[in-house]
């Protein structure tokens, strides 16, 4: 699959996505979709990792923005690129939740993890993730804020991939991952919609999270193995796209441009 990067007027992207928008919002009850023998048929399937919370137990940390973020980003990927997205019998994109120790991990073109500041990997998960990433897998972690969450997450990552082989890079905006299809101009700071409505601000930990980052662990060839978008919440841009027109225009459009770039990079590198 090859994609030609294009310079995007985000106004044009707004118009395109707004015209296609079904106003899909967040909230409500949901069931957890687990993989079955019929799940992976060759087209893109969004995979999310359920992890053990650093505060004890399998909690809701892994499920932040689920399932609407997973579904909506898959829909936009299908609408705004030529990537083939796997659909269920109702025409809805397939998305699944897996644990890192399950064999289905190796069928995922990429895996997502949210609220990485709470993630805690067991020895079995460490080994499975290491094998997956070394075999060409891609992990995107999103939605944690502040220095404490970052140091915790980096400690978990270093259990999986050593610094001697996988250096940490603070990606500049001119890195190719941000220009796979759309040419992004910045790494946006996207807040939780409730925080934004209540404060009008974007930095959820105030001075401790003022600057959004896209951190990467790269292998010896320069391939991104793990991408962490920190001090920002791309998932809310997807989950909450239909909740508030102001939030959609201010955050979702830019968030989708980068999210689609990331997915296409993961599937082509």
In angstroms, the CA 250 to CA 189 distance is 11
> pLDDT per residue over 237-257, tens digit each?
999 999 999 999 999 999 999
Work out the pLDDT band at 60, boundaries 50, 70, 90.
low
Angle at 85 between CA 17 and CA 188, to 5 degrees: 45
pLDDT score, position 59: 42
Q: Of 75, 83, 133, 126, nearest to 108 (Cα)?
A: 133
Structure confidence at residue 89 (pLDDT): 86
Q: Which residues pair with 114 in a beta bridge?
A: 142
Give the tens place of pLDDT for each residue, 103-136: 999 999 899 999 999 999 999 999 999 999 999 9
What is the model's pLDDT at position 11? Answer: 41
Return the CATH number of the domain spanning residue range 10-21+36-268.
Answer: 3.40.50.12140
Asked whether residue 2 carries a pLDDT value surpassing 80, the answer given is no
Extents of the domains making up the chain: 10-21+36-268
What percentage of the chain exceeds 90 in pLDDT? 78
Count H helices, E strands: the chain? 8, 9
* Residue 31: predicted pLDDT: 76
Give the pLDDT mean for 69-81.
96
Query: pTM here?
Result: 0.90
Q: Which of 220, 238, 219, 242 is nearest to 229 (CA)?
A: 238
More confident residue, 188 or 18: 188
Q: Rounded mean pLDDT of the chain?
A: 89
Q: What's the mean pLDDT in 22-35?
A: 64
Q: How far is CA 83 from CA 10, 29, 44, 190, 217, in A?
A: 21, 29, 8, 25, 25
Angle at CA 174, nearest 5°, toward 258 and 3? 55
Is the pLDDT at 80 greater than 50? The verdict is: yes
Percent of the chain with pLDDT over 70: 86
**Position 23 confidence tier, pLDDT thresholds 50, 70, 90:** very low
């Amino acid at each position: 699959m090859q994609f030609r990067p294009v310079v995007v007027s985000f106004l044009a992207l707004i118009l395109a996505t707004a015209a296609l928008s079904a106003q899909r919002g967040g909230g409500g009850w949901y069931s957890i979709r687990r993989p079955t023998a019929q799940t992976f048929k060759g087209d893109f399937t969004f995979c999310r990792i359920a992890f053990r919370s650093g505060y004890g137990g399998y909690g809701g940390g892994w499920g932040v923005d689920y399932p609407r973020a997973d579904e909506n980003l898959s829909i936009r990927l299908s609408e705004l690129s030529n990537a083939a997205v796997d659909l269920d019998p109702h025409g809805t994109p397939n998305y699944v939740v897996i644990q890192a120790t399950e064999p289905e991990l190796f069928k995922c073109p990429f895996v997502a993890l949210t609220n990485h500041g709470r993630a805690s990997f067991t020895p079995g998960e460490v080994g499975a993730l290491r094998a997956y990433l070394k075999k060409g897998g891609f992990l995107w972690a999103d939605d944690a804020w502040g220095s404490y969450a970052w140091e915790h997450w980096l400690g978990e990552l270093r259990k999986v991939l050593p610094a001697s082989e996988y250096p940490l890079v603070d990606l500049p905006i001119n890195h190719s991952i941000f220009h796979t299809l759309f040419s992004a101009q910045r790494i946006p700071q996207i807040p939780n919609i409730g925080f934004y409505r209540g404060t009008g601000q974007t930095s959820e930990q105030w001075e401790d999270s003022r600057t959004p980052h896209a951190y990467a662990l790269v292998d010896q060839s320069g391939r991104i193995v793990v991408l962490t978008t920190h001090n920002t919440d791309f998932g809310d841009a997807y989950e909450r796209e239909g909740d508030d027109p102001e939030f959609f225009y201010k955050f979702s459009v830019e968030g989708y441009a980068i999210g689609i770039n990331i997915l296409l990079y993961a599937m082509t590198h």
